[in-house]
Amino acid sequence: MPAIGVPSRLGRPIGRVTSSPGNLPPPLLPMLYTWFKRRRRRRLLNEAFPDEWMLYLDKAVRFYPQLTPEDQRRLRDDLRVFIAEKHWVGCNGLEVNDEMRVVIAAYACLLILRKSIDVYNRLDTILVYPDSYLALESAFPRSEPVPIGWRHGESWSHGSIVLSWNTTVDNIRDDEGENLVLHEFAHQLDMSDRFADGVPRLGSRQQYHTWKEIMAAEYEQLYDDARSGRPTLLDQYGLSDEAEFFAVATECFFLRGEEMEERHPRLYEILTEFYELDTAKMF
């Protein structure tokens, strides 16, 4: 679920930069940062992909063997960059290992297989709990945090995602149309425009209009089906709000693509356009 407005890490202080001798002019700093980032990534990708990581992909990432060789290569490259550039934090005594990093990164990067890894630039930290955890929240900026319930995952707008590893593994093993990593990272894509409203950053005004129209209609259909007791393909947790509906729809798109295309063709169409993937034929 998305959590808005509370950062998980203290921001790094940035001093004022002037153009006095010994300092770079401010306009050159972003260019220099980009150059160093590209150079670092090139060096990383020139290294051989670890054999052990391939075993994790083959074992735990069910869609990987079904990708084309070019898509497999791109996914491997993206996940290596993702793993290297994010902070990985184990919580409640958990030590984050390579298997956890590879599996989480692979599902996160599946969402952006046709996009740039830089879509996740605002994401800084992945916190991994061994199991569900008791979430805390402050009613006011300086008030004492209080427990608000047990959770399996959260996605924050200021740089962090929280995941339960046991839930992640259970989702992969059970294959029942739920995937915590896809769900929480869909929230990150939704919040790429800084709003958790079920509308990610799109390419045109017409796309926004079509997106809102179809999403509203599909949300109403899910509501009517749930109220009438009819079985639904989409998880009814998506009725929580528009942001949860988008995250649930994303899970269904990647895990139940053929069924979504048949039962929710308009929803499938706009997700195909957004993700630039035809999952009904791919997986």
pLDDT > 50? residue 9: no
19 found inside a domain: no
- For the beta carbon of residue 69, count every other beta carbon within 10 angstroms: 7
Q: How many Å apart are CA 235 and CA 251, to the nearest integer?
A: 9
46 found inside a domain: yes
Domain boundary among 136, 169, 195: 195
Average pLDDT over residues 144-173: 93
Q: How many Å apart are CA 160 and CA 172, to the nearest integer?
A: 22
pLDDT > 60? residue 283: yes
Q: What's the total number of domains in the chain?
A: 2
pLDDT > 80? residue 26: no
pLDDT > 80? residue 19: no
Q: Residue 52: enclosing H or E segment and its boundaries?
A: helix 51-60
**Same domain assignment for residues 134 and 150:** yes
**Same domain assignment for residues 109 and 236:** no
CB 114 within 8 A of CB 275: yes
**Same domain assignment for residues 62 and 181:** yes
10 found inside a domain: no
Residue 144 pLDDT level (bands cut at 50, 70, 90): confident
**Which phi and psi (to 5°) does residue 160 adopt?**
-145, 155
Question: Residue 264 is encoded by which pair of tokens?
Answer: 């929710």
18 found inside a domain: no
13 found inside a domain: no
**Same domain assignment for residues 176 and 67:** yes
Q: Cα torsion for 51, 56, 58, 61, to the nearest 10°?
A: -140
What pLDDT does residue 134 have? 93
CATH number at residue 210: 3.40.390.10
- What percentage of the chain reaches a pLDDT higher than 90? 77
Question: Starting at the edge strand that comes first in sequence, how are the strands of the sheet with 160-164 ordered?
Answer: 2-3, 153-156, 160-164, 125-129, 87-90
Q: Residue 147: enclosing H or E segment and its boundaries?
A: strand 146-151
Average pLDDT over residues 135-151: 84
124 found inside a domain: yes
pLDDT > 50? residue 8: no
Most confident of 58-67, 98-107, 167-176: 98-107
20 found inside a domain: no
Domain boundary among 177, 195, 213: 195
**Same domain assignment for residues 254 and 163:** no
**Same domain assignment for residues 191 and 239:** no
**Same domain assignment for residues 190 and 222:** no
Q: Residue 133: enclosing H or E segment and its boundaries?
A: strand 133-137
What pLDDT does residue 220 have? 98
Q: pTM (2 decimals)?
A: 0.87
**Same domain assignment for residues 190 and 201:** no
Q: How many Å apart are CA 70 and CA 63, to the nearest integer?
A: 14
**Same domain assignment for residues 100 and 188:** yes
Give 187-212 pLDDT, tens digit per residue. Answer: 999 999 889 999 999 999 999 999 99
Q: CA neighbours within 13 Å on the CB side: how many for 53? A: 18
**Same domain assignment for residues 230 and 266:** yes
The residue range of the domain holding 50 is 29-195
**Same domain assignment for residues 203 and 190:** no
262 found inside a domain: yes
Domain boundary among 150, 176, 195: 195
CATH number at residue 37: 1.10.472.150
What pLDDT does residue 16 have? 38
What single DSSP character describes residue 10?
A: P
**Same domain assignment for residues 142 and 255:** no
Question: Residue 229 is encoded by which pair of tokens?
Answer: 């007791």
